[in-house]
Amino acid sequence: MHGPPEYTEEGFQGGIRNIALLKRLLPYLWPYKSVVSFVLLLTFMSTGFELVLPYLSKVAIDRYILPSHYRVHRDSVPDAGVAEVISSYGELLQEEGFVAKESLLKMDPADVHFLRETGWIGEERYYRGNRDAAVEAALGEEGIPFLVWGPYLYVSYDMLSGVHSETLRKLREKDLRGIGRIALLFLFLLGISFALYYGSIYHLEWTSQKVMQDIRIEVFHHLLKQRVPFFDRNLVGKLVTRVTNDVQNLNELFKSVILAIFKDFFLVFGIMIVMLRLNRSLALICFSLMPIIAVTTMLFARLSREAFREIRTRLAQLNSFLQETFNNISIIQYYVREKSRLSKFRGINAGNYEAGMKQILVFAVFMPAIELVSSASIGMLIWYGGGIVIENHMSLGILVAFIGYIQLLFRPIRELSEKFNIMQSALASTERIFQVLDHKEFLDPIPNPYHPQEVHGRIEFRDVHFAYRPGEPVLNGISFEALPGQTIALVGATGAGKTSLIHLLERFYEPDKGAIYLDGVDIRDYEPAVLRSSIGLVMQDVVLFAGSVLENITMGEESWDQAHVHVLMEKIRADRFIRNLPDGYDHEVGEGGVVLSAGERQLLAFARVLVYNPKVLVLDEATANVDPETEELIQEALRTVMHNRTTLVIAHRLSTVRNADKILVMGKGHIVEEGTHEELIRLGGLYYDLHRYQEET
């Protein structure tokens, strides 16, 4: 039988690109678009406040720490070109006596150089303060020369170092107040930025939790719809990892990466604009290293993606091996295979270690490379920018602001390793999740499914052929009929195909050829839920779920109350043992029903059949694992359960099928004999041999 393409992690080579993956995540965010928009607004605002902080250092230095003025000699320079240059700058140079350095920085450097060469602007820097009689008197007593021009008092910076500290504090009282205001504004902006960023993180975390919840439900629901062959090919540990760890990694993607991406985009774009506004030539020099950063980042992205893909594959193998080992620990210990399992685990763990070391190597190269580029940028900035400051073509405040902005610019790049760590892990998980969601190994949809008003229970197999793997047939031309209320027994050696018939009847698998009918209608025309609710299945190994006895009987169906279940349990004599449990029907059975005996678990399986009341009953070795005393109790329960139902019984012990209406003897995928017990004994064939062998043993 040729099934759908096999779902395998290891064969996936990353055909879905990162952008495509992120696009596929957008529909999950759409229901929360208003919250996401609010988060982006908060992020934009907090980033804007963050951009202001380095600029405040520039204002503090140029306006309050090192405000500089230069003497202007308006009447002593006869050069006619000076007047032309001065007039071209309008009010910028109209101040009498002195000109602020801030004004000179707004001019063409060539014109400033010309005015200095002609002597129109002096070379000595002056500090300007407001006129104050007490300060003037103190400067006079200390022998510090100063100039008075209009409402201002000017002192050469060369002389400020000799001014007494108390006098200097009075002289620069305005600057000290300005610095205080800048510091308070700095702290205020930090607080506002923190509050905005906290709000964005909180709301994004809420959104990511909601999205994670939606995706986990969708993945689980998708897996529930997969056909049984899908689960035959995929280890439980791998699928559990998809629903748990991989979905959790998406939470980290939303919380730690997506918000950071937008914040970093706003931050980098804003820094570039501010730097260009402050000094274009210095900004372009800083940006010249960007191509190196881009190439390094793209190389890092490719290598880290490969490393993380291998890590996820190795981790899935590790999880699957651990799940398989711990689920079967009793078998491992019984056959004394601990050393063998440990040896195999060492190999898998070594592969996981090697994958982790590849990732570490990638990060070990990337981080120093980014630090080197960052240090080179700051070095170039100090070398070139310091020269401009010395030449009076740029203020010291702008240089300090540039250093702050360049450090701010490289911060997200330095953090890129951590973001890539999260992003690549999350994208690898996203690949796995969407790979599961894209694998649709479902039953074919039925345009107009058959919904019978009542199921009578007539079963017919017509020339059914089936193979789990192509070229290895399990069933070959099986044909038989079971009338309503009849009991049909299937016997034969292990591997004869008995259980495969049941799998086909439940539509766990599809026949390669032929058809199966229920009440004359092909079972493929039934809605799967209707078909399976019409067939009660009791397996040799009863499956119980963690929960109460009542929940395991009703399988979570809330429409059946406890009183109704009590009546049904009395019919199969199960009510007595249930009431003897510590909590009765509310007693927790534990995972797999570990607190119950094999017979008690079997009785609960029959209880399910009574509650669901199907017209077809399938018993697959239902009494194989119980003692004779319990078997007698179960046989009584069976008579109740089988009453008025079409029953298919699979049994190795022929004593349990003597009273069957018809016995089908199977061998190598064929029905080799059929008839009642007496007829088959008289026939003296395979059934007779099996019966005689069991009586002798």
**DSSP string covering 517-545, please?**
EETTEEGGGB-HHHHHHTEEEE-SS----
Mean pLDDT, rounded, of the chain: 82
Give the helix, strand, coil percentages of the chain, each rounded to 5. Answer: 65, 15, 25
Measured from the Cβ of residue 483, the count of other Cβ atoms closer than 10 Å reads: 14
**Which pLDDT tens digit goes with each residue over 346-381?**
988 998 898 888 888 887 787 787 778 878 888 888
Residue 12 vs residue 685, higher pLDDT: 685
Measured from the Cβ of residue 20, the count of other Cβ atoms closer than 10 Å reads: 10
Backbone angles phi, psi at 100, to 5 degrees: -75, 145
Residue 622 vs residue 207, higher pLDDT: 207
Q: Is 277 a residue whose pLDDT tops 80?
A: yes
Name the β-bridge partners of 608.
none
Determine the 3-state secondary structure of 649 from DSSP: strand
Residue 588 token pair: 């927790």
Residue 296 token pair: 């390094």
CA angle 202, 207, 209 (to 5 degrees): 95
- What does the alpha-carbon distance between residue 619 and residue 468 come to, in Å, rounded to a whole number? 22
**Residue 391 burial by Cβ neighbours in a 10 Å radius (0-12, 13-18, 19+):** exposed
* Residue 622: closest CA among 638, 636, 609: 638
- What does the alpha-carbon distance between residue 37 and residue 23 come to, in Å, rounded to a whole number? 17
Q: Is 196 a residue whose pLDDT tops 60?
A: yes
Q: What is the pLDDT of residue 622?
A: 60
Q: Specify the residue for token string 């079972």.
A: 523
> Which of 112-126, 387-401, 478-492 ranks highest by mean pLDDT?
478-492
- What does the alpha-carbon distance between residue 216 and residue 435 come to, in Å, rounded to a whole number? 14
**Which pLDDT tens digit goes with each residue over 178-193?**
999 999 999 999 999 8
Confidence band, pLDDT 50/70/90 cuts, at residue 5: very low
Q: Is 334 a residue whose pLDDT tops 90?
A: no
Q: What is the pLDDT of residue 417?
A: 60
**Which pLDDT tens digit goes with each residue over 627-677?**
566 666 677 777 777 778 898 988 877 767 888 899 999 988 889 999 988
The residue length of the chain stands at 697
**Which pLDDT tens digit goes with each residue over 569-589?**
777 777 777 888 888 888 887
Q: What is the pLDDT of residue 75?
A: 67
Name 377's Cβ contacts closer than 8 Å, sequence gap at least 6: 286, 289, 406, 410
- What does the alpha-carbon distance between residue 406 and residue 412 come to, in Å, rounded to a whole number? 11
Determine the 3-state secondary structure of 589 from DSSP: coil
- What does the alpha-carbon distance between residue 390 and residue 223 come to, in Å, rounded to a whole number? 70
Q: What is the pLDDT of residue 627?
A: 59
Q: Is 558 a residue whose pLDDT tops 90?
A: no
- What does the alpha-carbon distance between residue 301 and residue 298 come to, in Å, rounded to a whole number? 5
- What does the alpha-carbon distance between residue 671 and residue 24 come to, in Å, rounded to a whole number? 52
Residue 110 token pair: 């060539």
**Residue 58 burial by Cβ neighbours in a 10 Å radius (0-12, 13-18, 19+):** buried
Helix (H) or strand (E) holding 681: helix 677-683
Measured from the Cβ of residue 123, the count of other Cβ atoms closer than 10 Å reads: 9
Q: Specify the residue for token string 């004394």.
A: 336
- Give the CA dihedral 501, 505, 508, 513, nearest 10 degrees: 70
Name 477's Cβ contacts closer than 8 Å, sequence gap at least 6: 463, 464, 465, 514, 670
Measured from the Cβ of residue 314, the count of other Cβ atoms closer than 10 Å reads: 20
Residue 287 token pair: 């940006």
Confidence band, pLDDT 50/70/90 cuts, at residue 418: low
Tell me 346's DSSP state.
Answer: H
Residue 86 vs residue 481, higher pLDDT: 481
Residue 50 token pair: 């963050």
Q: What is the pLDDT of residue 406?
A: 86
Residues 559-575 have a mean pLDDT of 76
Q: Kindly report which listed range (268-272, 410-414, 516-520) carries the lowest average pLDDT score.
A: 410-414
How far is residue 519 CA from its own chain's centroid?
48
**DSSP string covering 274-314, please?**
HHHHH-HHHHHHHHTTHHHHHHHHHHHHHHHHHHHHHHHHH
Helix (H) or strand (E) holding 370: helix 338-380
Residue 415 token pair: 């953090």
- What does the alpha-carbon distance between residue 84 and residue 573 come to, in Å, rounded to a whole number? 116
> Which of 218-222, 323-327, 461-465 ranks highest by mean pLDDT?
461-465
Return the CA Rg of the chain. 42
